[in-house]
Amino acid sequence: MLDNLHDGHNTEFLYYDQHAEWDVDEAPVGLEAAAILLRSTAFFTRSSRGFCASDDNGFQRVCGAVSRLNTQEKTMRFTGKTALVTGGNSGIGFTTAKLLIAEGARVAITGRDRTKLDQAVADLGANSLGIQADLDDETAVESAFKQIKEVFGSLDIVFANAGISGPTPLGGTTAAAFEAILRTNLTGVFLTVQAALPLMGVGGSVILNGSVMRELGSPGSAAYSATKAGVTGMAKVFASELVQRGIRVNTVIPGGTRTPIWTRGARAGATLDATEEALAPAIPMARLATPEEVAKAVLFLASDDASGITAAEIVVDGGTIGAPRGAPMYRKA
């Protein structure tokens, strides 16, 4: 960025630095040092004379009172880290992978659809690895982690995000339809975390993707709701089992979120806007969450910022389960 640098004579300089933008009201060493700074990257330290700017070699060039210091350095919490995001070719998974990569991680994503997976990898760039896998299949899970080990060597973060939904009303559901949802959303999560453990060590973080559907009692959603309730219970067991290995396990609980899940399968032909309009009256914040809002909660739980947190949940639902009576449908006109 460009900003104004003033020396003791109140002379204005344009100064470029990729790390911070700053105004120096008083620079005792004067114009010459300020000019030198224009040709090098400056680093800032606090001293008795205010903030001091130094060049690449650490030689102090300018010290003075700083009236404004707005750090612009990009947060890179995951530099050198490796992550797995299952179901990472769309929606919350894709957005989470994108944000992890933006903060320095290398990320493996899984998906069943090769075309969508390839497109996601192309969009995510060189620090992504696409693995086509059906996580219902134990053999496929083993193969996926073999690829991850060969490319990454180890894993620091696992976001078990892959899941499916579908109507399972009483009186109209086959055992196969019901069990398919259980196998992907519950058994698949268990198999994923189990297979990841040999690649994880102290400081590792596992995040499971739950849902507010676990407690809404939504008609026709018995299988999906049961699996998300199961994920919540399983996460606490995982946390208890893995705490002595230094691995944290937490859950993110999304409410309705603007993802393709609302426009496919039994909902094919629906649009996100129409879905949001229909659901908004029951959501206190009167809108669906964005994938970025959920993904940022995942990144927090994956990061060292959450180093003291395990067996916890972050609910990203606009108040749906925490303050339901605040929804527009209950407000007085």
Residue span of the structural domain in which 288 resides = 82-324
Active site residue 15: no
pLDDT over 90 at 39, yes or no = no
Q: Which range among 109-118, 267-276, 323-332 shows the weakest confidence by mean pLDDT? A: 267-276
Q: Residue 330 domain-assigned?
A: no
Q: Residue 333 domain-assigned?
A: no
Q: Residue 312 domain-assigned?
A: yes
pLDDT over 50 at 277, yes or no = yes
Best CA proximity match to 234, nearest among 211, 200, 208, 260: 208
User: Do 50 and 104 lie in a common domain?
Assistant: no
Tell me what the mean pLDDT of segment 101-122 comes to: 98
Is residue 192 helix, strand or coil?
helix
CA–CA separation, 307 and 305 (whole Å)? 6
How far apart, in Å, do the first and last CA atoms of the chain sit? 48
Question: In this structure, what are the phi and psi dihedrals at residue 194, rounded to the nearest 5 degrees?
Answer: -60, -45
User: Do 149 and 287 lie in a common domain?
Assistant: yes
pLDDT over 90 at 28, yes or no = no
What does the pLDDT read at residue 1?
Answer: 33
User: Do 247 and 288 lie in a common domain?
Assistant: yes
User: Do 314 and 278 lie in a common domain?
Assistant: yes
Q: Using a cut of 0.85, tell me whether the model's pTM lies above it.
A: no
If pLDDT is split at 50, 70 and 90, which confidence band does 51 have?
A: very low
Residue scoring higher pLDDT (311 or 27):
311
What is the sign of the dihedral through the CA atoms of 26, 32, 33 and 34?
positive
User: Do 60 and 89 lie in a common domain?
Assistant: no
What does the pLDDT read at residue 199?
Answer: 98
User: Do 228 and 156 lie in a common domain?
Assistant: yes
CATH number for the domain harbouring residue 172:
3.40.50.720
Q: What is the pLDDT of residues 157-187, one digit of tens each?
A: 999 999 999 999 999 999 999 999 999 999 9
Order of all β-strands in the sheet with 50-54: 43-47, 50-54, 60-64
∠141-146-150 over CA atoms, to 5°?
150
DSSP letters along 311-329, please? Answer: S-EEEESTTTTTSGGGSGG
Q: What is the pLDDT of residues 60-96, one digit of tens each?
A: 444 444 334 344 457 899 999 999 999 999 999 999 9
User: Do 93 and 147 lie in a common domain?
Assistant: yes
User: Do 22 and 146 lie in a common domain?
Assistant: no
Domain boundary among 11, 39, 71: 71
Count of helices and strands (H, E) across the chain: 10, 14
pLDDT over 60 at 12, yes or no = no
Catalytic: which of 15, 81, 98, 224?
Answer: 224
Domain boundary among 71, 95, 117: 71
What does the pLDDT read at residue 73?
Answer: 55
CA–CA separation, 217 and 157 (whole Å)? 32
User: Do 57 and 142 lie in a common domain?
Assistant: no
Question: In this structure, what are the phi and psi dihedrals at residue 103, rounded to the nearest 5 degrees?
Answer: -105, 20
User: Do 138 and 206 lie in a common domain?
Assistant: yes
What does the pLDDT read at residue 270?
Answer: 86
Q: How many domains does the chain have?
A: 2
What does the pLDDT read at residue 24?
Answer: 38
What does the pLDDT read at residue 168?
Answer: 98
The answer to whether the CB of 214 falls within 8 A of the CB of 229 is yes
What does the pLDDT read at residue 265?
Answer: 72
CA–CA separation, 42 and 13 (whole Å)? 14
pLDDT over 70 at 221, yes or no = yes
Domain boundary among 71, 100, 131: 71
Active site residue 330: no
User: Do 94 and 170 lie in a common domain?
Assistant: yes
CA–CA separation, 51 and 73 (whole Å)? 17
- Mean pLDDT score of the chain: 84
pLDDT over 90 at 2, yes or no = no
Catalytic: which of 81, 228, 236, 330?
Answer: 228
User: Do 240 and 128 lie in a common domain?
Assistant: yes
pLDDT over 70 at 215, yes or no = yes
Best CA proximity match to 86, nearest among 32, 9, 160: 160
Best CA proximity match to 84, nearest among 176, 168, 189, 159: 159
